[in-house]
Structure 1
């Protein structure tokens, strides 16, 4: 079902210009651009031609997108690698590029961020029972996308 006031573009040159500004505004995955072009009412041949033109002109770069996405979700939203990986998979980024993007996250920063969010959450938990408290912290960190072994490691060495 399409929106009543959705933009319809039939000219490939106009669509390319609009797609260029769409990509210049912020990094996009190929799938996001493809979805936007379909939304504009273009045909598959035109869409694939525009996508390849955007890649050639460096408006669209899947590796650059993956690295930017991973870095920003980690730095701004403090997501763990599992959640970042899921987000990139939803945007249909190839696994090899997801791995590269996740390797860009500094391990020391990653563990200090995890420690920070666990300490912050611990200050809000009223639970007195040590095991229940640790379970709540573990669940919270898991929901943020951190790996259980990293969480366990930090909970072992800290007195949260």
Structure 2
């Protein structure tokens, strides 16, 4: 005769969960599970029935958790798969859940990519940056290219122009050469085309109010260094012009 699993107790756990203690184990179930499987104190199930119930409960729990995961923001298929793997959901059930989510239009990688492009565009990020983010989210190359078609060269140039203007305001105390270097590096980090960045910088007028910074840097260096060639090299690496460095050194000698 097959042994039976007996429900010994149900204990409320939170608003909608119960801890079910049986003669063999303990599991957490939802109110819906209690009703669906008639999990009542004193009820008995065969081992096969109880294992089947636990599998159903596990799948339902995974579904509830993935819906909660989606409630915060849109997710890619890869993000869903990674999340379910962390929950230790078996691969076959993961694929079932993903298929169900797609059939309900809860996830859609094309829509996800399109929305992510628009979101990062508003944050003044370039196409290369966005493309890399989409790759990290598991979006296919074909879908990435299609989504990035919504980011025109005109929009990219406008974003570059806005960033240059903002950075000029905060980097004005640097020499022009250093300003250009800092802006160039930021724009590349933000994923903009090198060609468009260089074109924009070449067409931008720069001014500088760096003399106070030059004197400050000069003073710091000469406190530690008395070799003129090394002083010149260090200051030129900071973007200062040879002529203005030479002028300070000449003043120092007089």
Structure 1 residues without counterparts, runs of 5 or longer: 1-8
- Aligned with residue 99 of structure 1, among 131, 145, 157: 145
Q: Does 1:52 align with 2:74?
A: no
Structure 2 residues without counterparts, runs of 5 or longer: 1-54, 207-254
TM-score by length of 2: 0.55
The CA deviation at 1:108 is 2.5
Alignment-derived partner of residue 6 in structure 1: none
Q: Deviations over 1:18-56 (max 9, x none)?
A: 323433442111111111111222111100110111111
Alignment-derived partner of residue 81 in structure 2: 34
| 8 A contact 1:142–1:148 mirrored in 2 | yes
- Residue pairs, 1:98-137, within 5 angstroms: 98-125=144-171, 126-128=173-175, 130-137=176-183
Q: State the alpha-carbon separation in 1 of the partners of residues 151 and 111 from structure 2.
A: 14
Q: Does 1:156 align with 2:202?
A: yes
SS in 2 for 1:152: helix
| 8 A contact 2:76–2:107 mirrored in 1 | yes
- Aligned with residue 15 of structure 1, among 25, 37, 62: 62
Question: Computing the radius of gyration over CA atoms, which structure comes out larger, 1 or 2?
Answer: 2
Higher normalized strand content (fraction of residues) = 2
TM-score by length of 1: 0.85
The CA deviation at 1:70 is 1.3
Q: State the alpha-carbon separation in 2 of the partners of residues 151 and 74 from structure 1.
A: 16
Q: State the alpha-carbon separation in 2 of the partners of residues 88 and 39 from structure 1.
A: 21
Give the alignment's Cα RMSD to 1 decimal: 2.0
Alignment-derived partner of residue 74 in structure 1: 121
